[in-house]
């Protein structure tokens, strides 16, 4: 994540409180972390330090100076895990909604990594460094589902190679807004983080990564699919 982020307020954001806007735009920061950024003067609104209750207007510019990443190594925490499978090389964990996968700004504790370090006695792969031990792939904080964690580097590299070669299939169930016309199909377009709405991903951006998604409709509702 860069040390500075810039946002331009659109008509859709007009009237929204600044602190709420930033909480949406900075998915790795909690509400209290955003408040601390504002209190420290790290947020500028049209070049001037901004208060948390500022109401936004179209065309205003927001600049956020992000703090340097702390060099604190994650610590083991006795957090219950829902483990569906485990052997000497890996384990499959059912991550609940609301749990962050690995420590980041605004979420230093209570993550899946903290729980894995405790459960595995620190015996996790370090291919991704000391801040993401055992983490081969991730899902968002508010997404629940299965994650595979590696206990050693051999297992980590084997799993990562399967993902890279697309032999590792990931399946999601979701309720989406609107009516999906087709019963099934394929989306073959790059996916990347939205340029201005940082908590969202979008399809077709210049800096997106190659992605193929096959979908099938399971159930239809009046305004959702």
Residues serving a catalytic function are 140
d(CA 59, CA 10): 6
In which element (H, E) is residue 39 found? helix 31-39
Which residues, listed in sequence order, are joined to residue 148 by a DSSP beta bridge?
A: 92
Return all residues near 206 (Cβ < 8 A) that are at least 6 apart.
192
Tokens of residue 113, six digits: 């990594």
Decide: 71 and 86 in contact? Cβ < 8 Å. no
């Amino acid at each position: 994540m860069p040390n500075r982020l810039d946002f331009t307020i659109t008509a859709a954001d007009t009237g929204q409180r600044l602190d709420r806007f930033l909480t949406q735009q900075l998915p790795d920061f909690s509400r209290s972390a955003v408040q601390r950024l504002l209190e420290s003067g790290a947020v500028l609104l049209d070049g001037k330090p901004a208060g948390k209750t500022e109401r936004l207007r179209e065309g205003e510019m927001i600049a956020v100076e992000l703090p340097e990443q702390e060099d604190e190594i994650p610590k083991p925490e006795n957090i219950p895990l829902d483990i569906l499978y485990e052997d000497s090389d890996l384990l499959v964990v059912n991550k609940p909604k609301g749990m962050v996968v690995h420590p980041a700004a605004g979420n230093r504790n209570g993550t899946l990594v903290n729980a894995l370090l405790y459960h595995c006695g620190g015996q996790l792969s370090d291919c991704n460094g000391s801040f993401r031990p055992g983490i081969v792939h991730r899902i968002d904080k508010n997404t629940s589902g299965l994650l595979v964690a590696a206990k050693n580097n051999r297992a980590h590299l084997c799993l990562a190679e399967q993902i890279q070669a697309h032999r590792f299939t990931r399946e999601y169930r979701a309720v989406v807004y609107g009516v999906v016309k087709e019963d099934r199909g394929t989306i073959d377009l790059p996916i990347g983080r939205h340029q201005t709405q940082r908590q969202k991903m979008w399809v077709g951006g210049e800096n997106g990564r190659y992605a193929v998604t096959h979908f099938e409709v399971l159930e239809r509702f009046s305004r959702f699919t």
